[in-house]
Structure 1
Amino acid sequence: MSDVQRVVEQYIAVWNETDAAARRALVAEVFTEDARYTDPLAAVEGHDGIDGFIGGAQAQFAGLVFSLPAEADAHHDLARFQWYLGAPGAEEPVVIGFDVVELTGGRIAKVYGFLDKQPG
């Protein structure tokens, strides 16, 4: 497994971690201290902003989990990947997204998120 794929899998693990203290520790491990996250619903930065946004998304979509339908495509310090959000074991995800991450020193410095499918 490539280092980039490992980071992307850790990123998904952050989104799935519902224990606040464990999630915060993962955020600190996966993201640089000044990391920025931008998608159509939010623009946040730093560990506090990212952790707070993820916690809010978890509250909104309680019981759903993030998954990777395929490996990340990467070059240099960039990676892009699609992700699904859905009920465990469900065939059809509720949300489908596409993220691009920029890495610095093996950690995520920037995330650019796009939503391909979202609930009405």
Structure 2
Amino acid sequence: MSELFENYLACWNETDPTARRALIERHWSEDATYVDPLADVRGHEALDATIGAVQAQFPGFVFTPAGPVDAHHRQARFTWGLGPAGAEPLIVGFDVVVTGTDGRIETVLGFLDRGPG
């Protein structure tokens, strides 16, 4: 499941729109859902727009692992940080991810533990 986390973060960190969309199509099911306190979206297009909006709001920030992956069956939970590369994250959250039988992400339930400021 650590590969799942790496692929997940790769999608969130890819700033080239074409490359990001290719990652999303490879690692997320077509009707995947993503829900956190600030977003509730379904499908590749909406997910891509959400990731792009986060990148625009926090230019130059990167998502990094902030703890181990805890996984069983087709679900995993992990903590991530968002901040300038090489610096202490300003935002920390954790996500629960459920995959399909093909290993692609079907559902993400996100939580924010610490925000900026």
Q: TM-score range by the shorter chain?
A: over 0.9
1:59 to 36, 56, 66: 56
Unaligned runs of 5+ in 1: none
Counterparts of 1:1-120 in structure 2 under 5 Å?
4-90=1-87, 92-104=88-100, 105-120=102-117
In structure 2, what is the Cα distance between the partners aligned to 1:19 and 1:45?
A: 21
In structure 1, what is the Cα distance between the partners aligned to 2:68 and 2:3?
A: 10
- Cα RMSD between the aligned structures? 0.8
The residue identity in structure 1 corresponding to 2:78 is: F
**Which piece of structure 1 moves more, 14-23 or 4-13?**
4-13
Deviation at 1:71, TM superposition (A): 2.7
**Which piece of structure 1 moves more, 110-119 or 63-72?**
63-72
Deviations 1:47-76 (A, max 9, x none): 001000000000000000000022310000
Quote the sequence identity (%).
54
**Which piece of structure 1 moves more, 17-26 or 67-76?**
67-76
Unaligned runs of 5+ in 2: none
Please list every run of at least 4 consecutive aligned residues from structure 1 whose deviation after the TM superposition is greater than 6 angstroms. Answer: none
Deviations 1:66-109 (A, max 9, x none): 0002231000011000000011111x211001000001021100
User: What count of residue pairs does the alignment treat as equivalent?
Assistant: 116
SS in 1 for 2:116: coil
Q: TM-score, normalised by structure 2?
A: 0.96
Q: TM-score, normalised by structure 1?
A: 0.94
